[in-house]
Structure formats: C-alpha cells, structure tokens
Amino acid sequence: MDIHELTPGEMADRSGVAVSALHFYERQGLIASRRTSGNQRRYPRESLRRVAFIRMSQRLGIPLARIREALATLPTDRVPTSKDWARLSAGWRQDIDDRILHLQRLRDNLTGCIGCGCLSLKTCALSNPGDMLADQGPGAVRL
C-alpha cells in the first residue's frame, strides 16, 4: 500500500470521524478516494486536512454546499499548503458575520415572543416567520 494513502479505518482513527461520515463526505463530493483492485477505498493522506476543515466549518454552521464550493478553490495540481487552508478558513469570516447579523435581526423581531409562548399563527413571528400574507387577513387569503 502507498504510504501516502490511508484506509477508511485509518482515516477514521486519525480524524476522529466515523467511517460512515467519511463515506457521506465522499458522496457529497467533499473528499475523494481511489479504489484498490479489491474495491477498497484509499484516501490520499492530505484528506485528513480536508476532513478537519469540513468538521471545523460544520461546527461554525457553514452549510455543506458552501464547504464544497470552498474546497473546490483548492489547487488540484499540488498538495494544498497551510496558506491555502488559512485562506479558506479566513473566507468564513463574512459568513459568520452575516449569520450574526441575521440572528441579531431575528432576536430583535422576536422580542415579543420572549417569555410569551403563545405561538399564534396570526401574530407570532416565531411560529410563522415568513408569513407575508398575514397582513391581508386570516386564513387562505388567495382562495
């Protein structure tokens, strides 16, 4: 076996991610493996960094689609350097800032809900946050 490759079990041990999660990441196009003549997966060693980046990004609440986009910007003709990984991580700053702003707006709109608990479909922004037709009256206003 190529010393620059890892079996799924080795990847799982080294990354702390279950083999099933590695397979999921692979199905999602976040990591790639090659198959041996016995149809066993082998991951390039640098996949460990990819998995660490994916896990870190998920912990920050970054959607998999955005993670996939970011990973697609890595060079394909060489092993990514620490500078490449730093650039990707730095790219999440705007995403995090955007989410903080969104949550602050949500909190400000939900001031009436805090301590209320009615979850009224008519008036509660928490139970029916996207109800743009609420201003036109109750029920199915388009029928």
> How far is Cα of residue 56 from the mean position of the Cα atoms in its chain?
9
Residue 54, Cβ neighbours under 10 Å: how many?
Answer: 25
Residue ranges in 3-42 that form contacts with ligand FES under rule CB under 6 A? none
Angle at 17 (CA atoms; ends 44, 25), nearest 5 degrees:
60
Asked if residue 51 lies in contact with residue 11, where contact means CB atoms within 8 angstroms, the answer is: yes
Q: Which CB contacts under 8 angstroms, 24+ apart, belong to 56-62?
A: 56/89, 57/92, 60/92, 60/95, 60/96, 61/99, 62/92, 62/95
Residue pair 53/71 in contact by the 8 Å Cβ criterion? yes
The only residue of 103, 126, 137, 140 in contact with ligand FES, by rule CB under 6 A:
126
Find the part of the chain contacting ligand FES (CB under 6 A) among 14-22, 64-72, 93-101, 122-130.
Answer: 122-130
> Closest separation between CB of residue 127 and ligand FES, Å?
6
CB of 102 to ligand FES, least distance (A): 18
Confirm if 91 and 76 have CB atoms less than 8 A apart: no
Given candidates 86, 116, 136, 143, which one binds ligand FES under the rule CB under 6 A? Answer: 116
**28 vs 120 by CB, closer to ligand FES:** 120
Q: Which of 75, 117, 130, 137 binds ligand FES (CB under 6 A)?
A: 117
Single residue of 104, 112, 121, 129 touching ligand FES by CB under 6 A: 112
- Note whether 103 binds ligand FES by CB under 6 A: no
To ligand FES, the closest distance from the beta carbon of 129 in angstroms equals: 10
Site residues (vs ligand FES, CB under 6 A): 112-113, 116-120, 123-124, 126
